[in-house]
Amino acid sequence: MAFGMPLRKAQELAAEAERAGFSGAVVTEGGRTAYLTCTAMALATGSLELGTGIAVAFPRSPMVTAQVAWELAEVSGGRFRLGLGTQVEAHMRRRYDAAFDHPGPRLADYVRAVQAAFRAFRDQEPLAYEGAFYRLTLLPALWSPGPIAAADPPVEMAAVNPYMLRLAGEVADGVHVHPLNHRRYLTEVVRPEIAAGASRAGRDPARVPVTVPVLTAAGDTDEEQARWRELARAQVAFYGSTPNYAFLFELLDRPDTTARIRQRQKAGDLAGMAAVIDDQLLDHFVVQGTFSQLPGKLQERFAGSADRLVLYFAGAAWERDRALFEGYGQMARETRKM
């Protein structure tokens, strides 16, 4: 996983990730756009699969997103996957000044509109999409990018709660799970809800691959593992402060966790927030071990529940220690062989 960054730096990271043995990179949108970072990475690599994980949907019209994704699919030779998400209401309304009413149905409609634009670009049908939130009905030949040699980029959705997972199963070409995840959630909530949505739409659930970010405490010494484990603890506390994610702790019989985190957050006590995540709880969210141990541990935890694993801390490792990054690359290669 990588965040938006200066574009030449993104090219350096992508080239080194490809050499290190990673199969792909997922770029999440923050202070910089995910699309430009993916473009820079595509131009610096020849085999690395690239995707937004996720790009924020609502501030851009579906047509703008479809055009950008189409060009990325073309320039990458079909290596690009379009991951879309809603972000949270405060950011939509106060940072982007974008609509946020009915975010679930709006995102599903957005995905359908993007897919309709792809069909029109390929001259498979005229652009005549009229949904509940989006209406795309004009595409003169002069304004269409036209067909490309690459396949249509898969359009994937970020989903956390059961409702969004069912929607993704209905309309999306894949699902991005939140980094705050654990085995019970993946097996008891994610997979069944995606399958239910796919069944409702008459689709095969196997057509909806699940991408799962993984928090790892990796290192060949106890000290290295301990350092990344504490970073993971702080990350779980940060994500766990969001009320919408409280049910993830409830599944682990820790129903008061989010409330306790938020109490410390309101007091400005970052250390106290992390302290709420005790070792037993943290073990549900983090995979720990040496680089030689982790492929087996990842296989054991995620077999049958994930189609793609995204190493959440690998990008941060590249920033801090290139030798550590090489270890992540080796781990990626070994995991893929299993």
User: pTM to 2 decimals?
Assistant: 0.95
pLDDT surpasses 90 at 4:
no
pLDDT attached to residue 323: 87
279 and 207 in a single domain? The answer is no
Interstrand relation of 135-136 and 129-130 (parallel, antiparallel or unpaired): antiparallel
Name the strand (E) or helix (H) holding 271: helix 270-275
130 and 180 in a single domain? The answer is yes
113 and 252 in a single domain? The answer is no
232 and 328 in a single domain? The answer is no
161 and 140 in a single domain? The answer is yes
100 and 231 in a single domain? The answer is no
225 and 323 in a single domain? The answer is no
Name the strand (E) or helix (H) holding 83: strand 80-85
For residue 146, the enclosing domain spans 2-214+295-337
265 and 205 in a single domain? The answer is no
pLDDT attached to residue 99: 95
pLDDT in tens, 132-175: 999 999 999 999 999 999 999 999 999 999 999 999 999 999 99
Q: How many domains does the chain have?
A: 2
**Pairwise CA distance, residues 202 & 179, whole Å:** 29
Average pLDDT over residues 71-92: 96
